[in-house]
């Protein structure tokens, strides 16, 4: 799978041009993109979506920027699942809030995955992460348990100091679900990404596919 991820990252990096502002995601596939981009010696400013990505980009000698001051020309990020309508679940690495802030504001958002991440319905293979405030996580967990088949608290603290609740069950209405979950008091953000995807680049055994 690592080779498939690398192939997808190589294709996605071809969309990055000299002088661009680049939103850089978090996760194993994005690590390949960082390594590839650092070798191209382009003059880019990178806006990282997590402390982990920030550290990796700094080690690679990349110039870092802030979403408060810059708008990404392009964002490169992975996904846990991608459905046929280019809806995503993200947040397996726990960086969903910063990822959504940056990916949704990018002029172009490129998703890089291996072919195992393609599903008919979101929730088939991976739970949906929901970031919640520690102050209210148990109350939010009970409300989410009325919506999903199972809800589990992850042994993890986000870069913002919040908790992650992993929600299990197929999602047939991602756009409505994204909005509904964020209306629950105590929810910071959820891992449904239902807009702004420009291209999905898929590393497959038979080659790289783009849709």
- List residues with catalytic annotation: 99
| CB-count burial class (<10 Å; 0-12, 13-18, 19+) for 47 | buried
User: How many other CB atoms are there within 10 angstroms of residue 105's CB atom?
Assistant: 16
Contact predicate 98/134, CB 8 Å = no
Q: Is 187 helix (H, G, I), strand (E, B) or coil?
A: strand
The rounded distance, in Å, linking the Cα atoms of 139 and 37 is: 43
At CA 114, angle to CA 34 and CA 208, rounded to 5? Answer: 85
The rounded distance, in Å, linking the Cα atoms of 127 and 194 is: 16
The rounded distance, in Å, linking the Cα atoms of 211 and 201 is: 7
């Amino acid at each position: 799978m690592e080779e498939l991820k690398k192939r997808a990252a190589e294709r996605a990096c071809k969309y990055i041009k000299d002088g661009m502002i680049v939103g850089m995601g978090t996760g194993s596939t994005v690590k390949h993109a960082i390594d590839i981009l650092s070798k191209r010696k382009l003059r880019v400013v990178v806006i990282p979506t997590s402390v982990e990505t920030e550290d990796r980009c700094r080690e690679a000698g990349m110039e870092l920027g802030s979403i408060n001051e810059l708008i990404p020309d392009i964002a490169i990020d992975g996904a846990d699942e991608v459905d046929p309508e280019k809806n995503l679940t993200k947040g397996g690495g726990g960086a969903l809030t910063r990822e959504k802030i940056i990916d949704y504001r990018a002029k172009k958002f490129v998703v890089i995955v291996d072919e195992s991440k393609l599903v008919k319905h979101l929730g088939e293979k991976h739970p949906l992460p929901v970031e919640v405030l520690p102050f209210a996580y148990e109350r939010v967990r009970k409300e989410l348990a009325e919506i999903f088949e199972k809800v589990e608290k992850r042994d993890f603290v986000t870069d913002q100091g919040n908790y992650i609740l992993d929600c299990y069950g197929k999602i047939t209405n991602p756009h409505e679900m994204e909005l509904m979950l964020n209306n629950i008091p105590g929810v910071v953000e959820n891992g449904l990404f239902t807009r702004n995807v420009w291209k999905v680049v898929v590393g497959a055994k038979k080659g790289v596919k783009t849709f």
